[in-house]
Amino acid sequence: MEKKLVAIYGSPRRDGNTSELMDSFLDGAAHNDYAKDAQVERIIVSSQKITPCRGCRSCSKTGECIIDDDMQQIYPLLVDADFIAISTPIFFTTVSGYLKAMIDRCQRLWSLKYEHKKKIVQKKRYGILMACAGSGNPKIFDCARMVIRSFFDVLYVDYHTDFVYNKVDHKKDIEKKAGALDSLYDFGKSEELARLLREGK
């Protein structure tokens, strides 16, 4: 069966640092003997119409979200994915607001899992995080890691690893960071990614 790789671009800068990391990962995956056959779905969150969660708790009653916007097309992509890659800049110590809005709308999936006790994902799957921050403080990624871990938990995704880079601020800074783009390309092309995709059932 064809594997599905979902790539979530969290930055509003289409050609910014974290988008370059994601593009490099996908380039590697396109040259991976196994992953090259996966269907790649790119979600550029800043190009989607995603209203923030209103906290109305309709999903607690019905398991559905009453807001009719692009999230209705994104939910099935998240549920069907065999691998989820997320890239985000650090904005005020956490993920971008665009990405956080998408994650908050997954309250519907939280509700299905913990209130409705419905296991909507049957397969085993993995995910990774890529992030850049202007600051040199390695702790600047702690909050984003927690947010993504909690998002992955709701989606039954194992947090495999992350690729985070400090002192990356202006566009193209990531290209000057020795080994950064190569690391993502290499991971995309690796047997490790093939194994993670194969393990997904």
Ligand X SMILES: Cc1cc2nc3c(=O)[nH]c(=O)nc-3n(C[C@H](O)[C@H](O)[C@H](O)COP(=O)(O)O)c2cc1C
Q: Which residues bind ligand X (CB under 6 A)?
A: 11, 13, 16-19, 89-93, 132-135, 140, 168-169
Residue 8 CB, shortest distance to ligand X, in Å, is 13
Residue 38 CB, shortest distance to ligand X, in Å, is 24
Q: Which is nearer to ligand X, 40 or 143 (CB)?
A: 143
Residue 24 CB, shortest distance to ligand X, in Å, is 13
C-beta separation of 53 from 116 below 8 A: no
Q: Which is nearer to ligand X, 36 or 177 (CB)?
A: 177
Residue 10 CB, shortest distance to ligand X, in Å, is 8
Residues contacting 102, CB < 8 A, separation 6+: 8, 43, 45, 48, 50, 71, 74
As a whole number of Å, the CA-based R_g of the chain is 16
Residue 66 CB, shortest distance to ligand X, in Å, is 30
C-beta separation of 32 from 193 below 8 A: yes
Q: Which is nearer to ligand X, 18 or 107 (CB)?
A: 18
Q: Which is nearer to ligand X, 92 or 117 (CB)?
A: 92
Residue nearest to ligand X (CB): 16
Q: Which is nearer to ligand X, 65 or 133 (CB)?
A: 133
Q: Which is nearer to ligand X, 11 or 24 (CB)?
A: 11
- Long-range Cβ contact pairs of 133-140 (< 8 A, separation 24 or more): 133/89, 133/90, 133/164, 133/165, 133/166, 133/167, 133/168, 134/90, 134/167, 134/168, 134/169, 135/90, 135/166, 135/167, 136/166, 136/167, 137/166, 138/164, 138/166, 140/90, 140/93, 140/166
Residue 102 CB, shortest distance to ligand X, in Å, is 16
